[in-house]
Every structure is written in C-alpha cells, then in structure tokens.
C-alpha cells in the first residue's frame, strides 16, 4: 500500500518547553553538527535497544563511501517508536540547549486494517531528522559494528516494489538507491 493512500492522524509532542525558546544561533550551531550527533545517538540506541536501521542510511553503511548518497534523515524500526522518538527529541534539545525540535506521533492504518503509531522527529524548521516505525515481524538484517541494518537484498526487493507500483514521491530515490546497490554488487563481483 502506498504511503500516500494511508489515512493519518498527527499529534505533536514537544518535551523541550522548559528550555529557552529557539534562537537563530542555537539552531545554526546545532545544524552544523547535527548529522554527527544524530548519527551517534541513533547508533548508540541501536546497540542498546536492538532497533533496526533501514532505508538509505542502511544502504550507505553497507555500500561504502564510494557508492553512498547524501541523506540526512534516518529511518528506524523500533519496538517502542514513540518512546524512541521522544528520547531523540530530548537529546537534541539538551544538546542544542534550546527547544529546537518536536516529535510528531502519527497514527495510521496499515494494509491489514491494524492501527499503528509511528513517530517523526523534526527540527522547528520542519527538517525531518528521523522516522521511528513499529518493528516488522520479519526483516532480514546484517550486523555492522553491533548495529542491525536492513540487508541489501531486502532493500533491493523493497525498491523494486516501489518502482513497480510507481510511487512518484519516492521513485527517484528508489531508482538511485537501486542503481547504487547494483553497482556495489557488480564491483564486489569484479574484485
């Protein structure tokens, strides 16, 4: 089922109300170092809580620097998606020493008419930092440095399905990621 076809209900949680309001200096300072901070925080949580990183970040980690695509948001499967989202939001606010982020709790109905909740952590400028979704029943993972990442084979199947269904919102990125996976496999086979 396409992302666009799901019915969604969004609720915003902001835990940083006790911190000073966002200042331009705090936002700019955090944006300059946010990628490294968010990466370290998510990877530490992945080691502790057993969450699974998927999407472009998982592909980048496995194909290496030569074939990676610059992407800033993280896609994560978590057993407790709302708890993980709020935890990341608190860490971002405390690191920046200002209230610069909030968590959106999104309630949606999946293909089997089950109601599920996910959380999306955003900076106040509406840049998405991470999406935390419920843990799927079956997903193949590979462990790199103690962190579970979605396998390239699983990602390849997912991207082929997106291209076949014609999800226009994600079609360009799916094509690009699929090409990167094929190039990586070809280079690996040649060496």
Q: What domains can be seen in the chain, in order of their start residue?
A: 3-150 (3.30.460.60)
pLDDT score, position 1: 39
Say whether pLDDT at 176 is over 50. yes
pLDDT score, position 53: 93
pTM (two decimals): 0.79
CB 106 within 8 A of CB 8: yes
Of the pLDDT bands very low, low, confident and very high (cuts 50, 70, 90), residue 167 is low
């Amino acid at each position: 089922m396409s992302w666009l076809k799901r019915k969604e209900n969004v609720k915003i949680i902001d835990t940083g109300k006790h911190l000073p309001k966002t200042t331009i200096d705090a936002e700019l300072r955090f944006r300059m170092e946010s990628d490294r901070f968010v990466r370290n925080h998510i990877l530490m949580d992945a080691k502790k809580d057993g969450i699974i990183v998927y999407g472009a970040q998982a592909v980048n980690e496995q194909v290496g620097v030569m074939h990676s695509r610059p992407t800033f948001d993280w896609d994560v499967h978590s057993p407790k998606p709302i708890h993980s989202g709020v935890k990341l939001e608190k860490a971002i606010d405390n690191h920046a020493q200002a209230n610069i982020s909030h968590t959106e709790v999104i309630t949606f109905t999946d293909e089997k008419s089950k109601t599920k909740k996910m959380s999306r952590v955003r900076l106040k400028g509406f840049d998405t930092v991470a999406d935390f979704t419920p843990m799927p029943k079956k997903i193949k993972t590979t462990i790199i440095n103690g962190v579970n990442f979605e396998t390239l084979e699983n990602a390849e199947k997912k991207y082929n399905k997106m291209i076949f269904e014609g999800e226009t919102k994600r079609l360009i990125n799916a094509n690009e990621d699929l090409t990167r996976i094929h190039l990586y496999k070809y280079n690996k086979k040649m060496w």
